[in-house]
Amino acid sequence: MSIFRYAAPSAFYPLAGRMIPWFAAIAAASILIGLYWGFFQTPAQLGGTNPQKEYYRIIFVHVPAAWMSMWLYLVLAVWSAVGLVFNTRLSFMMARAAAPTGAIFTFLALWTGAFWGRPSWGTYWDWDPRLTSELILFFLYIGYIALHSAIDDARRADRASALLAIVGLVMLPVIFWSINCPDPNQCAALHQRSDLSQMEPNIFWAMMIMTFGFWMYSFAAVFLRVRGIILSREADSAWVRGLVEGKA
Amino acid sequence: MLEVADLECRRGDRTLFSGLSFAVEAGTLLHVRGRNGSGKTTLLRALCGLLTPETGAVTWNGEDIRRLADDYHRDMLYFGHLNGIKHDLSGIENLRVAATLDGDRPDEKDLWTALEQMGLEGFEDLPTKVLSQGQKKRVALARLLLSRAPLWILDEPFTALDADAVDLLQMLIARHVAEDGMVILTTHQEVPLTSGQIRRLHLGP
Amino acid sequence: MWRVFLCILGRDITLAMRRRTDVLTTLFFFVIVVSLFPLGVGTEKQILRILGPGVVWVAALLASMLALERLFAADYEDGTLEQMLMTPQPLALLVLAKVTAHWLLTGLPLVAIAPLVGMQYHLDDTAVVTMVLALLVGTPILSLLGAIGAALTLGLRGGGILLSLLILPLYIPVLVYGAGAVTVSAIDFADTQPYFSLMGAFLLLALIFSPLAAAAALRISME
């Protein structure tokens, strides 16, 4: 019963504020450990049938970033759905706060993918299905943010972009599938079908730690952003004015 | 009967009104008054279901209008600031579409009669873009003659009407109230009634 | 219900017929875009044959989007859209009627003019037939999906560009399979069957869900 009291922006604001330093610290630690593990504790090449050399280590940023980009879109869509169903302002604010972080991870995945592509495929961009899907995901994030910014009325902005996010979520599998499998007669992918269970344990764990670190970063970044959104949206309310006066 | 309980509406960051409660029974005219910007149009739109209020509920015959949705719309007619007619269509074509959307199967004769009663004889089959503002409004208001909805919500219905049309509309409203209908309107004019009661609601300071 | 559907369908077509320029603009835009590509890419037969399906589809996407802006805009401006929200008719039905009218006026002409484009790009007869069929199934999907975007961006500044940004990613499956069908038809017409099955399935799903989503978007935009 008491957890629902945090659905009010005024209660969530201080809670988020207290949690941010913890998330940030754990994020920094995890990412450092993950990078160290990835760069120093793993073999010099990917192993098995894969001939890739040292540069494969970019996988420790590329893959977790790609995962995060997809997870955060799901988070965005879920918060949007919650907001539409329960009509809670904070849900919409959380969705709006998650979008830029998701977009950043998508961008990161695209860049690291390009830099990985150069040595291994010989080109920065090869219209590889997975990377192309990431590009489309990037457009979906930008579309969400653009729609929200284009609407002046906060309520309409929230609800319109929420609907867009949900439509995007529904279409996402279709879009991904059509890019991955453009010929329904036979499906092929350029991306090596890397099976997680066949991966060398050190590599696997390094990726997991990086993913965890990125999750912690996401919490910190999103909470920080949502606090800013709460303050600007609730600027007229008594508690915000109290905060401002307290500081002034 | 329309009931409003504890209604609060915001527009952007401003709270226009809060804690608003009232009821409108059959045979009543509710005249909503207030200065410009006091929230009259917002209130009417909230009563239509076009706008979701911050808090509070609007109920029609005991049920929340959000739940009733289409059933509520069947019982009400709304006129906003815009005429709601297509300028490329003629008066009769506009009325035909409006009547069909209202759920009726209008007799062609009834459509022509309605326009005639609104003083548009001879203008019925001209595209409405060649009509004057007042005439366009008359085309829009012709729906009132065909509608069987008990609740009318009219936002500034008298604007652009000449003296004859004002009298005509006042007569229509009075007749509707006398027949146990309900009318909620905003206007700067006084609306005399022959029977039924007039209630006034003042918004803002 | 059918009566209401036909009423709105007839209304929209009548309105478009009285302002015929709007309808023709979309068609001419399509023709111009399709004609521009060879000028930029080179007129070599082989290249055009390969590019043809993709170019036609991209041009169809763009033309469809141009016309989408006006799907709800006129009704929004004169208050008829507001009235549609206030009627006892299901809004999704009214949306479906408007989208059908939109497709008849902007999508169907593209299908009709496709053979001419096929000739410009030196496509063989099987390819042209496939293209016409693919456009016939695909352009309604474009109108249906686009209606959601048009409803969301109703009345916004920069509406057209924003609409493109929102809708184009959603158009990708139609583009991939529509163009793919034409490309594959060169090998064997029977190979196009799974493409059409997929597009048919999309069309069915879009027919059911898009009007509902667009109606919800309209209510959000009209508050």
Q: How confident is the model at residue C218 (pLDDT cuts 50, 70, 90)?
A: very high
Contacts of B88 in chain C (CB under 8 A): 14-15, 18-19
Asked, for residue A189, whether it belongs to a domain, the answer is no
Using an 8 Å CB-CB cutoff, list chain B residues near C86: 48, 50, 73, 76-78
Q: Which of A51-55, B46-50, B75-79 has the lowest mean pLDDT?
A: A51-55
- The identity of residue B152, as a single letter, is W
Nearest to C180 among A153, A155, A182 (CB): A182
A153·B13 Cβ contact <8 A = no
Residue C191 and residue C123: Cα distance in Å, rounded?
17
Domain count across chain C: 1
Gap between the Cα atoms of B103 and A102, Å rounded: 47
**Cβ–Cβ < 8 Å for B48, B149:** no
| Chain B residues touching C4 at Cβ < 8 A | 100-101
- What dihedral do alpha carbons B25, B28, B29, B32 form, nearest 10°? -40
Q: Is residue B184 part of a domain?
A: yes
Nearest to A175 among C148, C172, C220 (CB): C172
B102 lies in the same domain as B169: no
Tell me if B161 is assigned to some domain: yes
Nearest Cα of chain B lies from the Cα of A70 at a distance, in angstroms, of 33
Selected residues 65-94 of chain B with any CB under 8 Å from a CB in chain A: none
Residue B133 lies in a domain: yes
pLDDT band of residue A50 (cuts 50, 70, 90) is low
In chain A, % of residues over pLDDT 90: 40
Measure A125 CA to nearest chain B CA, in Å: 45
DSSP assignment of B160-181 equals: T--HHHHHHHHHHHHHHHHTT-
Same domain, B111 and B42: no
Question: Can you tell me the distance from the alpha carbon of B43 to that of B24, in angstroms, rounded to the nearest whole number?
Answer: 14
pLDDT, residue C10, reads 94
pLDDT at res. A46: 59
Q: How far is A131 from chain C (nearest CA, A)?
A: 14
Amino acid identity, position C170: L
Q: What is the pLDDT of residue A229?
A: 92
Over residues A126-143, the pLDDT tens digits come to 777 888 889 999 999 999
**SS3 per-residue string spanning A102-151:** HHHHHHHHHHHHHHHHHHHHCCCCCCCHHHHHHHHHHHHHHHHHHHHHHC
C171, closest residue in chain A (CA to CA) = A175
Q: Which domain holds residue B30?
A: 1-75+149-205
Interface size, chain B vs chain C, as Cβ–Cβ contacts under 8 Å:
76
Separation CA C50–CA C104 (nearest Å):
29
C103 to chain A, any CB pair closer than 8 A? The answer is no
Here the ipTM equals 0.91
Task: Examine the domain organization and report whether B142 and B176 are in the same domain.
Answer: no
Contact between B200 and B31 under an 8 Å Cβ cutoff? The reply is yes
Position A190 scores a pLDDT of 45
Quick one: average pLDDT of A56-66?
A: 85
Q: Do B157 and B62 reside in the same domain of the chain?
A: yes
Domain match, B37 and B98 both? no
Structurally, chain B folds into a number of domains equal to: 2
- Tell me the residues of C at the B interface, defined by beta carbons under 8 Å apart: 3-4, 7-8, 11, 14-15, 18-19, 74, 77-80, 82-90, 94, 222-223
Band (pLDDT 50/70/90 cuts) for residue A68 is: very high
pLDDT (mean) for C114-125: 90
C-beta atoms of C78 and B83 within 8 A: yes
Rounded to a whole number of angstroms, the distance from the CA of B105 to the nearest CA of chain C is 10
- Domain-embedded: residue B81: no
In terms of Cα–Cα distance, which of B13, B22, B8 is closest to B51? B8
Give the nearest chain B residue to A89 (CA atoms): B54
Report the distance separating Cα B161 and Cα B158, nearest Å.
6
Chains contacting C (3 or more CB pairs within 8 Å): A, B
Q: What's B46's domain CATH number?
A: 3.40.50.300
For residue B106, is it within any domain?
Answer: yes
Looking at B147, B165, B181, the residue that finishes a domain is: B147
CA distances from C104 to A233, C114, C138 (A): 44, 15, 13
Q: Which residue of C has its CA nearest to A147?
A: C162
Least Cα separation, residue B10 to chain A (angstroms) = 10
Give how far C170 is from chain B: nearest CA, Å.
29
User: How many structural domains compose chain A?
Assistant: 1
What do you get for the CA distance between the two ends of chain C, in Å? 26
DSSP letter, residue A190: S
The answer, yes or no, to whether residue A53 has pLDDT greater than 60, is yes
Burial class (CB in 10 A: 0-12, 13-18, 19+), C190: exposed
Which residue from B51, B81, B93 is facing C223, i.e. has the nearest CB?
Answer: B51
Is residue C40 packed enough to be buried (19+ CB in 10 Å), middle (13-18) or exposed (0-12)?
Answer: exposed
**Cα–Cα distance, C138 to C115 (Å, whole number):** 16
Prediction pTM value? 0.90
- Specify the pLDDT at position A188: 52
Nearest to A59 by CA among A100, A13, A11, A120: A120
| Angstroms from B189 CA to nearest CA on chain C | 24
Nearest CA-CA distance, residue A165 and chain C, Å: 10
Q: What is the pLDDT of residue C41?
A: 84
Residue among A84, A236, A241 with most chain B CBs within 10 A, to mutate:
A236
Task: For residues C52 and C54, give the distance between their C-alpha atoms in angstroms, rounded to a whole number.
Answer: 6
3-class SS string, C147-173: HHHHHHCCCCCCHHHHHHHHHHHHHHH
Domain, as residue range, for A28: 23-41+55-183+196-234
Q: Is residue B80 domain-resident?
A: no
- Choose, out of B8, B13, B64, the residue to mutate when testing the contact with A (most A CBs < 10 Å): B13
Say yes or no for a CB contact (<8 Å) between C78 and B82: yes
Kindly determine whether residue B12 and residue A235, on different chains, have CB atoms separated by under 8 Å: no
Would an 8 Å CB–CB cutoff place A153 in contact with chain B?
yes
Are the Cβ atoms of B87 and C78 closer than 8 angstroms?
yes
User: Token digits for C54?
Assistant: 């993709």
Verify whether the Cβ–Cβ distance C7 to B52 is below 8 Å: no
By Cβ distance, the residue of C7, C85, C88 closest to B74 is C88
Q: Are residues B98 and B28 in the same domain?
A: no
Chain B interface, best mutation among A92, A153, A155, by max B CB count within 10 A = A155
The answer to whether residue B77 scores a pLDDT higher than 70 is yes
CB-based contact, C198 to chain A, within 8 Å: yes
Confidence grade of residue A44 (pLDDT, cut at 50, 70, 90): low
Instruction: Give the model confidence (pLDDT) of A160-191 as tens digits.
Output: 999 999 999 999 988 888 888 887 776 654 45
B128 and B163 housed in the same domain: no
How confident is residue C75, by pLDDT bands cut at 50, 70 and 90? very high
Residue where one domain finishes, among candidates B100, B130, B147: B147
User: Is B12 within 8 Å of A154 when comparing Cβ atoms?
Assistant: yes
